[in-house]
Structure 1
Amino acid sequence: MIAHATAATDNGIGHWLVTLDNGQSWKMTESVPSFAPPRPGDEVRIRKGALGGYLMDVNHQAGVRVDRVE
């Protein structure tokens, strides 16, 4: 799935919550120190990962593990 970010907020420990223009929200399940969060309008790709999880790709960075919140 490809969508565009509308907001990204940090919970204080490096787990970003990314809200997309399709109404979905995805939360990182791991801290990635070098992760650059998306800015509004940036393209975000959510794809299936190994063992039934999901990965989020933002701005050509390595995929990070995420869970859907909404």
Structure 2
Amino acid sequence: MADEPTGNLDPENSWNLVKLLKDINQKNNTTIIMTTHNYEIVDALGKRKIEIVNGEIKKDPSKIIHKVIHSSKKNEHN
């Protein structure tokens, strides 16, 4: 998990970090969860992208978050 990992980096080091994260993702088949306001980074890294605006899910093409929330609510009632 990474919260704005490039937020305080200069452009060169931002892209170095993006390359490192992408390498870790591919070599280890590891999921990376990251928050960012930089759409260039999202496009460079993301296969699955979920957009949240003001706490609301705006885009979730795979509907994965909706499935998790629905499953969680279902388990609360059992």
Answer yes or no: same fold by TM over 0.5.
Answer: no
Comparing both chains, which one has the higher relative contact order based on Cα–Cα distances under 8 Å and sequence gaps of 6 or more? 1
Larger Rg: 2
Instruction: Please state which band the TM-score falls in when normalised by the shorter chain.
Output: under 0.3
**So what's the TM-score if we normalise by structure 2?**
0.23
Structure with the bigger percentage of helix: 2
Structure with the bigger percentage of strand: 1
